[in-house]
Amino acid sequence: MSDVDPPLEPPGPAADPVEHLEFRERLREAALDAERATGEREDTEAEARAKVTTRVARMTLGSLVLILGAILLPLPGPGWVVIALGLGILSKDVAWAERTLDRVRRRLPEGEDGNISKPVLYGSIAFAACTMAVSVWWSFLR
């Protein structure tokens, strides 16, 4: 016999409410167990639950920023910078994002010290915001 639990499979549409509650409880326990196994030890279940919530929020934000960066690539704006920002947020929790971030960093313009100059960064963000505002105005508000 192994110590591994069977995979979590959602109950079918005709399942009774008790099965759904049991499934949700197993999912909650699996998420808390996974959070406890990350190397940082939480003393209480409330701390583990807070870490799970923080991780889900950070991954959601990183995904949205990454999608925005992909949208900005063909448009005038700092597409690669926004993609790098989204990958930076995601790299805290997802291993593939950290590897991809290294590849994207090679595409970004940088100075002698290896950093993006602040005027280039802020100018690109301001230009993108203005361009998007004009596009929205032109498309929907005029």
CA gap 72, 62 in Å, rounded: 15
CA gap 101, 104 in Å, rounded: 5
- What's the confidence (pLDDT) of residue 63? 92
Q: Which percentage of the chain shows pLDDT scores above 70?
A: 69
The answer, yes or no, to whether residue 1 has pLDDT greater than 50, is no
Structure tokens at 126: 């301001």
Q: Model pTM greater than 0.85?
A: no
pLDDT in tens, 102-115: 787 776 666 667 67
What's the chain's average pLDDT? Answer: 76
pLDDT in tens, 25-52: 787 777 767 666 665 666 666 776 777 7
Structure tokens at 42: 């939480």
- What's the confidence (pLDDT) of residue 37? 63
2 pLDDT band (50/70/90 cuts)?
very low
Short-list 74, 82, 72, CA closest to 108: 82
Query: Residues 109, 66: contact at Cβ < 8 Å?
Result: no
3 pLDDT band (50/70/90 cuts)?
low
The answer, yes or no, to whether residue 139 has pLDDT greater than 90, is no
pLDDT in tens, 69-100: 888 888 777 787 888 888 888 888 887 888 88
Helix %, strand %, coil % for the chain, to 5?
65, 0, 35
